[in-house]
Amino acid sequence: MFGSDRNPARDAGRVSTAGMVLLPIQFTWPHGGDDVSISGSFNGWTELVRMSQVEGCPNVFKAVCAVPHGSHEYKFFVDGEWRHDEQQPHRNGEYGIVNTFDTLPVPAEVSQHQIPAVILNQTIPRISEEDLRASRYQISAFLAAHTVYELLPESGKVVALAVDLPVKQAFHILAEQGIPVAPLWDFYKGKFVGVISASDFILILRQLGNHGSTLTEEELETHTISAWKEGKARRNGQVDGHGRPIPRHLIFAGPGDNLKDVALKFLQNGVATIPVIHSSLEDGSFPQLLHLASLSGILKCVCRYFKHCSGSFPMLQLPIYAIPLGTWVPRIGESSSRSFAMLRPTSSLSSALNMLVQARVSSIPIVDDNDSLLDIYSRSDITALAKGRAYTHNLNEMTVYQVTVITSVLTFLLFRNLDALQLGQDSNSPYEPRTQRFQMCLHTDTLLKVMEQLANPGVRRLVIVEAGSNRVEGIISLSDVFRFLLG
């Protein structure tokens, strides 16, 4: 029987979990009380884990405990009295009537910290390696058999900028057009030579900010795009033996390229858009810019083809927590090879930009003190500063909350004007405006559901949140999905 000192453990019953793979298990006590805790064989009966009352359900308490694989016993300590839950499996044990449960081994391919809190007696869905390989082969074969022609819209516009355009003017155009990237045209060479993106603007702001002076419009007018690109190459050591910048090759696709090769180009080069360029001449002269391809456009083709036969692909029916997909928030006491960045509303814009660059991510969730999702700050949001002339302020004095307000207002005004002018973009455009600045999903959502969300124009990532609280659990990007699909 348990002792009256609230600790039923015996020294001989202590267990070590060193080296074990632990599975987070969610325990629930639905029978009320004021002070509820839990203990069990999974922690050697050596610790009482305090349970939290569920908001809106005063009689329900929950707690998550790290549990090794095997059979376990547990009991609840409610208002000074040891009790068991008669609605859960139970039996007579060394400590009287105890609740019981079993856990299965964690699949080797699933990272420990991406597994959500599993409700008792719920097993992790899994498919065989053979089914996984078969599904990947089918998707890979589909992509190899279809071309970029299928991504081209029936009508639309693509914005390109001249390399001799002033940097400030270039970012004003990006902001006014509501686009984060534009191909660069060199009139002297008669070809497209690169792209300018929000990432360039971030680097410019950080570079000028390091001089210790407040940014001014005049400073951004001193450099053309070509001058900025050359200076960037020199700072990165990309020069030849004579100290001249080495031009980077433009990453582009032709309309006849297959979708698999283009998807691999995205993954290998870490880019968000790829210009689709066509020339009817063998030497590639007089190129035509047809479209800006995105992974969401390719994913839309995949979803459209496999949606009605998803039952034949078990992989698409798996919940996302059961597959190695995305970046997840490490749980307490766990380590992760890749840190998960989050911002508070009061964080400075300067710290946000530094975090985007250092973490090499395209967006960072903005959360409250409980890590519940409030908003998201993306690289593309930086172009709104050019439109609003907010870059003339000290970056350390601006908060991410202020910047997101500016971005939201300017975006609303921009697309209200576009609607008034009846200049709506084509449905295949990767930059179609969306009313919500971020998209969410649950860890229990299937891979197919996540793919369908990411296939929507303008969506590049989903924030994984806990149901009810919106507490951030992880993030999944388009690149994450394609790395998994293509193996």
Q: Where are the domains of the chain?
A: 22-103, 135-300, 316-417+435-486
Q: What are phi and psi of 352, to 5 degrees?
A: -65, -45
CA gap 393, 398 in Å, rounded: 7
Q: Is 53 helix (H, G, I), strand (E, B) or coil?
A: strand
Band of residue 379 on the pLDDT scale cut at 50, 70, 90:
confident
Mean of pLDDT values over 429-440: 55
Residue 122 C-alpha from the chain's centroid = 26
DSSP letter for 331, please.
P
Q: Which CATH superfamily, name and number, covers 135-300?
A: CBS-domain (3.10.580.10)
Q: Which amino acid is present at 434?
A: R
What tokens does 188 get? 């002297």
Mean of pLDDT values over 342-349: 87
DSSP letter for 10, please.
-
* Segment among 49-53, 275-279, 392-396 with least mean pLDDT: 392-396
Q: Which of 202, 208, 200 is nearest to 182 (CA)?
A: 200
Band of residue 438 on the pLDDT scale cut at 50, 70, 90:
confident
What does the pLDDT read at residue 8? 40
What does the pLDDT read at residue 117? 55
Band of residue 4 on the pLDDT scale cut at 50, 70, 90:
very low
What does the pLDDT read at residue 382? 76
Of 20 and 428, the structure prediction assigns the larger pLDDT to 20
CATH topology of domain 22-103: Immunoglobulin-like (2.60.40)
Determine the Cα angle at 126 with ends 125 and 130, to 5°. 160
What does the pLDDT read at residue 63? 84
Distances in Å between the Cα of 317 and the Cα atoms of 143, 274, 291 are 20, 30, 33
Averaged pLDDT score across all residues of the chain: 79
CA gap 251, 271 in Å, rounded: 9
Which residues, 6 or more positions from 176, have their beta carbon under 8 angstroms from its beta carbon? 387, 414
Residue with structure tokens 């008034």?
420
What does the pLDDT read at residue 253? 96
Answer whether residue 255 shows pLDDT above 70.
yes
What does the pLDDT read at residue 5? 45
Answer whether residue 57 shows pLDDT above 90.
no
Determine the straight-line distance between the first and last CA of the chain, rounded to whole angstroms: 53
**Contact call for residues 178 and 386 (beta carbons, < 8 A):** no
Answer whether residue 68 shows pLDDT above 60.
yes
pLDDT tens figures, 225-237: 888 788 777 777 7
Answer whether residue 257 shows pLDDT above 80.
yes
For the chain, the helix, strand and coil percentages under 3-state DSSP, each to the nearest 5: 35, 25, 40
Mean of pLDDT values over 275-304: 92
Q: Is 238 helix (H, G, I), strand (E, B) or coil?
A: coil
Mean of pLDDT values over 310-323: 84
Mean of pLDDT values over 140-164: 92
Mean of pLDDT values over 326-343: 66
What does the pLDDT read at residue 212? 47
Band of residue 408 on the pLDDT scale cut at 50, 70, 90:
low
Band of residue 7 on the pLDDT scale cut at 50, 70, 90:
very low
pLDDT tens figures, 444-487: 899 999 999 999 988 889 999 887 788 888 999 999 999 999 98
What does the pLDDT read at residue 469? 80
Mean of pLDDT values over 27-55: 89
pLDDT tens figures, 357-372: 887 788 899 988 888 8
Mean of pLDDT values over 332-352: 71
Band of residue 82 on the pLDDT scale cut at 50, 70, 90:
very high
What does the pLDDT read at residue 323? 86
Please determine whether the domains at 135-300 and 316-417+435-486 fall in the same fold group of CATH.
yes
Band of residue 291 on the pLDDT scale cut at 50, 70, 90:
very high
What does the pLDDT read at residue 192? 94
pLDDT tens figures, 179-210: 889 999 999 989 999 999 888 887 777 766 55
Q: What are phi and psi of 479, to 5 degrees?
A: -65, -40
What does the pLDDT read at residue 159? 92
Band of residue 415 on the pLDDT scale cut at 50, 70, 90:
very low
Q: Which amino acid is present at 279?
A: S
Answer whether residue 109 shows pLDDT above 80.
no
Strands 70-78 and 81-83: antiparallel
CA gap 197, 400 in Å, rounded: 20
Q: Does domain 316-417+435-486 have CATH number 3.30.70.100?
A: no
DSSP letter for 380, please.
G
What does the pLDDT read at residue 116? 55
What does the pLDDT read at residue 314? 85
